[in-house]
Amino acid sequence: MNFKSGNKIKIEGGMSSMTDLVFLLLIFFIVISTMITAGVNIDVPKNGGSSNDKKILSVNINDKNEYFINSEKTPISSSKIKNEILKNLGKDSIISLYGSNESSWESSVYIIDIAKQNNIKISLNGNKK
């Protein structure tokens, strides 16, 4: 009685996936080494990213969708907010937008549209306390 099993487990690793991995690593290191020797310049913000030379205009939106510029106590209507923003901003200025959780998103998008139409940078923030 000579029993032979027909099901033998062959443990062989596929070499095609290993060669693909080696070629990908080779390409990665070639690209990185050429970038290092070429000296790619990266502009990093100075002074911790502060913008001392730029004017920052704070626009606040409360729960009733009323607009406030900086720390003014009187609300500004949506028809006058564009003129007030453009009047208070100069070249290379930034709008810092603070919105309430209960304010509508349309009022925030309106300020973003004003900034985009006039090429003004904008910073979106949460509630200002």
Number of H helices, E strands in the chain: 3, 4
Rounded CA gap, 47 and 49, in Å?
5
The answer to whether residue 18 is domain-embedded is no
User: What's the CATH code of the domain at 63?
Assistant: 3.30.420
Our count of domains for the chain comes to 1
Rounded CA gap, 7 and 15, in Å?
23
| pLDDT tens-digit readout, 106-125 | 888 998 898 888 888 888 88
| pLDDT tens-digit readout, 1-51 | 666 666 777 777 677 788 899 999 999 999 888 877 666 566 666 665 555
Phi, psi of 69 (to 5 degrees): -105, 130
What count of residues does the chain have? 129
pTM summary value: 0.56
